[in-house]
Structure 1
């Protein structure tokens, strides 16, 4: 899978699909971040969909519009970062303008710049380097300063990767107090990949 990787931002057209379809389509794509320290990249192996005003687990539930969620009301393909328990998490804004939906990137398989990732986030086992939403942002140097960027432009972008053989689907993680929303099967992951979050 690692051979002949060409890291060029996907066209904006890629992001013009339903949130659930985008959640699946992102699996196998490369998330790339260029910094002064160097370039890091990893295959996206786990995502979660958050479908706006009617999804109690979404930050934009009830069309809640705050300084934090404002970017969700923008065009698909924008970067939505937010802080939770001191960790920065990264989402892909999806759906149309004024349809505040997003896809959380939950886990990556490291591909490029692994030594730099390990300096930022020392671990004993490489499988623990990027197997969670807060872990992958720290390893890749993704911060709140990336809020509002475009995933189809450098320095933080999504590039073509590979097509997973099999995708699994289940309930989202860590959203216990969200009523029926916690049962929605809106988490997707590459079957058998060791970097999927535990």
Structure 2
């Protein structure tokens, strides 16, 4: 499957759901760091009062939002990098924030990068980028699968169930704050802010392979 095909022809919300279980790989000189996406948030552009492109806002900082499907958009929040993928045709500024990643390979380097182990490695948007070693905006305005950051479009894991809920930490302006545009693998312990009582420690919420 081509990148443009995966990120086209569907709503951003549908793409956010379909990213769950896909493997993300960051190729570095030290190791290939990878994990399965377990949590995403959809942002729907000009109409979305929590989005960076609300009411058509455009600036050098968010120019990637207006790029082609599969472009990487990175912004900084409280000193940590937030990793997003653009999902619609150029000039349609919609995207998806990655919020949680279950590590697959490179955990030792992730632990070194984060000075943490276990679920704390990657159970949040700033945590997962720090674990991968994405500490600046160099990847901003570049394309997935054209450089160091790869999204495997074929295969991956299948969630037993997908849950949705309000996005976390978004602007309180307008009527979009509480819309259920956050999607996650039900029971996966690497989902941000998921209470321990809801963790599935047997399958992590995946269908058995």
What's the TM-score once normalised by structure 1's chain length? 0.91
2:126 aligns to what? Answer: 134
Alignment of 1:64-143 (within 5 A): 64-123=57-116, 125-142=117-134, 143=136
| Displacement after TM superposition at 1:132 (Å) | 0.2
| Displacement after TM superposition at 1:37 (Å) | 1.7
2:42 aligns to what? Answer: 49
| Displacement after TM superposition at 1:192 (Å) | 0.5
Q: Does structure 2 conserve the Cα–Cα contact (< 8 Å) formed by 1:10 and 1:152?
A: no
5+ residue gaps, structure 1: 1-8
| Displacement after TM superposition at 1:10 (Å) | 6.0
1:193 aligns to what? Answer: 188
5+ residue gaps, structure 2: 194-209
Structure 1: distance between partners of 2:15 and 2:21: 12
Structure 1: distance between partners of 2:82 and 2:28: 18
| Displacement after TM superposition at 1:15 (Å) | 1.4
Matched, 1:178 2:173: yes
Structure 1: distance between partners of 2:23 and 2:2: 10
CA RMSD of aligned residues (A): 1.3
Q: How many residues align?
A: 189
Structure 2: distance between partners of 1:151 and 1:136: 17
1:57-107 CA distances to partner (integer Å, 9 max, x unpaired)? Answer: 100001111001111111111100000110100001111111100000000
Matched, 1:61 2:54: yes
Deviates more, 1:176-185 or 1:44-53: 176-185
SS in 1 for 2:98: strand
Query: In the superposition, relative to structure 1, how do residues 180 and 74 fare at CA in structure 2: closer, same or farther (>3 Å)?
Result: same
Structure 2: distance between partners of 1:164 and 1:10: 23
Structure 1: distance between partners of 2:133 and 2:142: 14
Query: In the superposition, relative to structure 1, how do residues 151 and 128 fare at CA in structure 2: closer, same or farther (>3 Å)?
Result: same
Structure 2: distance between partners of 1:80 and 1:70: 8
Larger RCO (alpha carbons 8 Å, 6+ apart)? 1
SS in 2 for 1:68: helix
Q: Does structure 2 conserve the Cα–Cα contact (< 8 Å) formed by 1:150 and 1:157?
A: no
Query: In the superposition, relative to structure 1, how do residues 10 and 158 fare at CA in structure 2: closer, same or farther (>3 Å)?
Result: farther
1:165 aligns to what? Answer: 160
